[in-house]
Amino acid sequence: MLKGYNSDLTVRGRSYHIQTEDWGDANPFLVSRIFQNGAVLKTLKVPYSEALKESSVRTHEALKLALQKQHGEIMDALLEGRLP
């Protein structure tokens, strides 16, 4: 299981907290959540099989890159107005 990522963003005057975490081999998902004022606005739960489809093997490094990519994509979508 990898450490996750946490970011705070202000978009169009609203503050958001984005959290992305690896749930580990026993529950193989990468999960991102967008919070506002402590409430979850959106959850994205991606199975390893989908998150790692660009990688031929499931290694620690491949998981780390997939986790970073997912976190970045969530932040980009929020900044571009495609999410809450």
Q: Are 74 and 83 in contact (CB under 8 A)?
A: yes
The more confidently predicted of residues 54 and 16 is 16
- Give the number of domains in the chain: 1
Sign of CA dihedral 45, 49, 53, 56: positive
pLDDT tens for 35-83 read: 999 999 999 999 999 998 876 667 888 999 999 999 999 999 999 999 8
pLDDT of residue 20: 98
pLDDT of residue 2: 78
pLDDT of residue 75: 97
Query: Is 84 part of a structural domain of the chain?
Result: no
Question: Strand, coil or helix: what is 81?
Answer: coil
Sheet strands (E) in 1-84: 5-11, 14-22, 29-36, 39-47
Query: Is 18 part of a structural domain of the chain?
Result: yes
- Domain residue limits at 57: 5-79
Question: Strand, coil or helix: what is 23?
Answer: coil
